[in-house]
Amino acid sequence: MGAFGRTKPIEAALWREMTASWEREFGPEVSQRPKRVSDVEPAPKPTSRPARSLREWSAAEKEEFQGELTAALDDLLDEVLADERVGFAEWDDVTRNFFVQFSRLLLGEAVLAHEDYKDCGATPDEMPFILLLVGLRPALEKSGQAASKLGPDNGVSKLLVSLALPFQASVDERVRPELFAAVQKRIYPEL
């Protein structure tokens, strides 16, 4: 279990031990599973019918979507905050509170991105991560503007800079490489 009681991935060494135990008990063919989403499914083929807008979803579908998005963010943040470049252990209370606000803003930006990215070719498992990736830039920009109002040397600017690369790397591990590259190119056309 990760932060706030959310699930988090099993470490590779423990997974290998579990796989070996399973193979001894039930045979190797059952445990041979691909490790990445890209190995599980090929890229979806475009359909003639576009994905539905969030406005067309039922209340239950919206609630499920919000839950998937929040779970994906928790999964990413567990990994990002463990990254030494982020320096989570040294954060002061102001920085931690700012991070909570940043996380809320990121979720909001991810929801707003749905309309523009609903037809990007992401699988249902990849979509929350793609939306969070898309929401990262505007959330960082808006948070940077808010941080500048706190004054120089507030620690928050360092936080924002330290989050970007580990966050993108964590998303990259969870989606197909070609999809990640296409979305990054769309988010940052100037690069």
CA distance 166 to 176: 17
The pLDDT of 168-175, averaged and rounded, is 94
Largest distance between two CA atoms of the chain? 62
Compute how many other C-beta atoms are within 10 angstroms of the C-beta atom of residue 189. 7
| pLDDT tens per residue, range 83-111 | 888 888 888 888 888 889 999 999 999 99
Helix ranges (H only) for the chain are: 12-26, 28-31, 37-40, 59-82, 93-117, 127-149, 156-172, 177-187
Comparing 41-55, 118-132, 146-160, the range with the smallest average pLDDT is 41-55
pTM for the whole structure: 0.69
For residue 185, the 8-state DSSP code is H
CA distance 25 to 23: 5
CA distance 3 to 94: 20
Q: Are 101 and 150 in contact (CB under 8 A)?
A: no
| pLDDT tens per residue, range 14-70 | 777 777 777 776 666 544 444 444 444 455 554 446 678 888 888 899 999 999 999
